[in-house]
A and B are shown apart, each in its own frame.
Chain A
């Protein structure tokens, strides 16, 4: 009993004196991959080449990126083999967690990627078309490695709807309904991309990100629209657990160490002094 009350006191003390010691918000650069090279489009078109993914990833890890996402948009028969080889190279080199996504549609696909060193995988269209995939992945590998990626767009009725196939195909399902169902089925994180904001550099989609975040028990990663440090501060201040961006990092419009210094000044917990 004595010991327990001692611990309770130490908890209270630590809350008072170490209120900033806590889980930090994550900054996640995303690398779009095609045929083993990094690309990034604006609103999903106009691809540009931004270099070797492994070199870029290593640079981000050294700069203090908290995680990385690799999204493979290769659509050839060789895809599985080249992606597995790339994942292997990344895993050998990188000492922070990384997620791999893009066209993953089966338990076997995922097993190959995890066996080559991926920490998490993300599923999007395939999970929407076959929701049991989420259950199967969660029971086979655990929820911690299943990220449900959702592309969403707001319609004139004010609702946000799920889009498939890289944003080319609309569905009648709302983003919130699908996010909730995905979590019930075992998704461990939601990666939410607002197509309305993606590529605009005008800020993240606060409204829908916050709505999803308040209604699911798992972390939500905001994606689409981050253009400057202020945007990250806005979305991480109560709307999302992590924020993802691509080209602004690739083209050094936003520098990760500067971004973290800024967020820290804004009172947002981030991992610094690594």
Chain B
């Protein structure tokens, strides 16, 4: 099976690559449209800032490639946020695969730090991506922006209110947390994606 991780200017791809290797997958890391479109499954990682990431994707023509893919496609963290319609991070129009909008956390008391860093529950799980994952399992999050709840929400978490910790529409999946850093829960989610 050919798994391609999309290479662009926002991503600490190494930990994801190693996480895939731990479950027996050797991913191809590429920004070549031909390579991406020939994959069995595509992973779109992302750690960074939305507007510079979108600018880079457009320059490389990757925005259009991503919108075209018909294979199972998984965005992680910023990757998921870029698949939404718009991000408040530097007022950035995004890929629009998911209609949900990405907003900045607003803390309701001083003990709620931004970014959210650490392990939080994922609940109301409803997708094969979460096969054999029990409600309220813990996943590792690092983010200041979040996707709204909406029709594509397949997992919910709470921080300064409820938000989408995962989204799904057709072949497109997105997770806000980092499965590659979420211990055995994360490994199971990556395996589930590979087995979709």
Contact = CB atoms under 8 A, between A and B. Distances in A.
Interface of A: 7, 10-11, 14-15, 18, 21-26, 61, 66, 91-92, 95-97, 114-117, 119, 141-145, 188-189, 214, 217-219, 238, 241-242, 271, 274
Which residue of B180, B181, B185 has the most chain A CB atoms within 10 A of its CB atom? Answer: B181
Contacts of B48: 142
Interface stretch (B34-42, B67-75, B135-143): B135-143
Contacts of A144: 47, 115, 117, 142-143
B119 A92 contact: no
A219 B141 CA distance: 13
B119 A66 contact: yes
B140 A96 contact: yes
Given A114-B12, A142-B47, A274-B183, A219 B117 contact: yes
A144 B114 CA distance: 10
B138 A271 contact: yes
A24 B120 contact: yes
Interface residues of B, number: 44
Contacts of A119: 12, 15, 181
Given A21-B158, A97-B140, A145-B47, A241 B113 contact: yes
A214 B111 CA distance: 7
Contact of A66 (B113, B118, B161): B118
A217 B106 CA distance: 11
A213 B36 CA distance: 44
A274 B181 contact: no
A141 B49 CA distance: 9
B47 A11 contact: no
26 contacts: A11-B158, A14-B162, A21-B123, A22-B158, A23-B116, A23-B118, A24-B119, A91-B14, A95-B181, A95-B183, A95-B184, A96-B183, A114-B12, A142-B48, A142-B49, A144-B117, A144-B143, A145-B12, A145-B47, A188-B115, A219-B118, A241-B117, A241-B118, A242-B118, A271-B119, A271-B138
A223 to B, nearest CB: 16
B181 A23 contact: no
Contacts of A91: 14-15, 18
Contacts of B149: 7
Interface string B168-186: 0000000000101111111
B52 to A, nearest CB: 10
Contacts of B136: 18, 21
A21 B121 contact: yes
A117 B117 CA distance: 18
Nearest to B15: A117
B187 interface: yes
Interface in B120-151: 120-121, 123, 136, 138, 140-143, 149
A219 B178 CA distance: 18
Given A18-B123, A21-B121, A114-B14, 9 more contacts: A10-B162, A23-B118, A23-B159, A66-B118, A95-B22, A96-B182, A97-B181, A143-B115, A189-B117
A23 B119 contact: yes
Contacts of A238: 111
A259 to B, nearest CB: 15
Interface in B1-40: 12, 14-15, 18-19, 21-22
A238 B47 CA distance: 29
Given A22-B121, A115-B14, A144-B47, A218 B183 contact: no
A3 B160 CA distance: 19
